[in-house]
Structure 1
């Protein structure tokens, strides 16, 4: 199979909103113990300015003070295409786990994603793309992956032009032109927690996969929480999704702490 730079691809792992993930053999130059890494190849050519922005933000991502972030090892351009290499976690994602998950494991994964998001926020970075597909499963909980670089690689790109980006996990204010922020990531964490406990998004079954129609449908709707949520989970999710940003949890660390309480309740059942 083809590769990029000195990465030999083993197989594709799937597409995201702005690139394709590949499982690849680890080049010796990285000096890491893992035999395999994930390489994300960004669709389309990348300008010099976009490359500088993306690598700068990936550097901040890689040095953020959290072991709940997926490790980023390398980034570069090859033939005009931007790519970066990160840790491979074979247990899959919250959206598509490769192992059976019980409710507590799912909540623990969201808790860890919240801890990771908090570390990014403390460095002034909004993740921009927190969704179940980007919450990866590990033996000890979860990892937050796939920093939302699309806004850096294509500044000014409207939300409706990004394709499959997990719109139902995106704060509706972003679709109306607001900047990604700590508060918008907290909205996304609440929506992910709802998915972790119910297997469904907060808008139920969305009928279309076409981005513009999805945006219209979401903006015309209100999030609806499942009736059978545990009380502590319902309260936390409702707070994260509050339209009044001032009423949301102040930090993702607070979300993580409250999610730990939810997990403890599940363990006691």
Structure 2
């Protein structure tokens, strides 16, 4: 048990913690994140975890995973979000190949809407990347606010650069102050991966240098996406489009040229496989008759 949730299976892990599929007493499914055992006794990590829970709870919108419960003060701090029935963009591309242009445009429009909601809550996500994007039957979702920061937070020191190198903005890679425009750069990089199967600046140990000083490889990116993505990946944050402008541009393309339904067939197939697995797992769960543990506290 994690809080009132029975652990069903393990979903994944990251730098701060692990994520499990959990079931409530009524068998509602949630994704439960916990701090890694070796970090539980470190007050700095507890503080970061509380910040993640607070920031994630403040974001609303169709394209994020809402926080439903949390107890950052528990012996093993945990955070529960609505379980999204979907698969990560990274898994889709790895198993099925790049998205078709229509689907990539739909993805980009959804991510732009997600960033509008996130930035409206005065938060910079800082880690928008393929593994933090879930493709669900009703559209994409942005997850994992582990290194998100309030807009008015003090800048990090240059020795504390956080994020995933291949999807960082130039200012993030340099350790400079990060603003919402940084998330737009990451959106552009994520769209390149979605449409081509590769990050625009590569993934090796020199990727941060190429992000700061080099040019992205957009040769395999289909038109007319290339012009918009090129603007997202400009070095000067002030020259990048806003999420609102990205949404308008992609929505116009979808209205004018495309009629493909979401989700794409390959995504729907992967979701179906995952759903059948979930049905098999949850069917074996015993009825949860015991009351949930006491001491459960909401995020403040």
What band does the TM-score fall into relative to the shorter chain?
Answer: 0.7 to 0.9
Of structures 1 and 2, the one with the larger relative CO (CA 8 A, separation 6+) is 2
Distance 2:104 2:83 in 1: 19
Shift of 1:180: 2.6
- Distance of aligned partners of 1:218 and 1:21 in 2 relative to their CA distance in 1, 3 Å threshold: farther
Does residue 231 in structure 1 map to residue 223 in structure 2?
A: yes
Shift of 1:130: 0.7
Q: Which residue of 2 aligns with 1:75?
A: 70
Give matches, 1:117-128, under 5 Å: 117-128=115-126
The aligned length equals 246
Shift of 1:126: 0.8
Contact 1:103 1:266 in 2 (8 A): no
Contact 1:24 1:39 in 2 (8 A): yes
Q: Which residue of 1 aligns with 2:191?
A: 193
Larger radius of gyration: 2
Contact 1:72 1:86 in 2 (8 A): yes
- Distance of aligned partners of 1:118 and 1:89 in 2 relative to their CA distance in 1, 3 Å threshold: same
Q: Which residue of 2 aligns with 1:252?
A: 243
Shift of 1:174: 0.9
Shift of 1:194: 0.9
Contact 2:133 2:141 in 1 (8 A): yes
Q: Determine helix, strand or coil for the equivalent of 1:97.
A: helix
Shift of 1:5: 2.0
Q: Which residue of 2 aligns with 1:210?
A: none
Shift of 1:190: 0.7
Distance 1:214 1:11 in 2: 36
Q: Which residue of 1 aligns with 2:289?
A: none
Q: Which residue of 2 aligns with 1:31?
A: none
Distance 1:141 1:244 in 2: 30
Q: Which residue of 1 aligns with 2:160?
A: 158
Distance 1:54 1:141 in 2: 24
> Over residues 102-131 of structure 1, what are the superposed CA-to-partner deviations in whole Å (9 max), with x where a residue is unaligned?
442333223212101111112211111111
Alignment partner of 1:20 out of 5, 18, 36 = 18
- Distance of aligned partners of 1:14 and 1:167 in 2 relative to their CA distance in 1, 3 Å threshold: same
- Distance of aligned partners of 1:122 and 1:96 in 2 relative to their CA distance in 1, 3 Å threshold: same
TM-score w.r.t. the length of structure 2 is: 0.71
> Over residues 157-210 of structure 1, what are the superposed CA-to-partner deviations in whole Å (9 max), with x where a residue is unaligned?
712xx5xx4321110211212223110011111111111111110113x33xxx
Gaps of 5+ in 2: 151-155, 261-300
Contact 1:109 1:143 in 2 (8 A): no
TM-score w.r.t. the length of structure 1 is: 0.79
Alignment partner of 1:97 out of 85, 92, 99 = 92
Q: Determine helix, strand or coil for the equivalent of 2:21.
A: strand
Distance 2:14 2:247 in 1: 26
Gaps of 5+ in 1: 29-33, 208-212
Shift of 1:85: 0.9
Give matches, 1:254-269, under 5 Å: 254-263=245-254, 267=258
Q: Determine helix, strand or coil for the equivalent of 2:215.
A: coil
Contact 1:39 1:84 in 2 (8 A): yes
RMSD (Å), alpha carbons? 2.9
Contact 2:20 2:32 in 1 (8 A): yes
Q: Which residue of 1 aligns with 2:179?
A: 181
Distance 1:150 1:127 in 2: 4
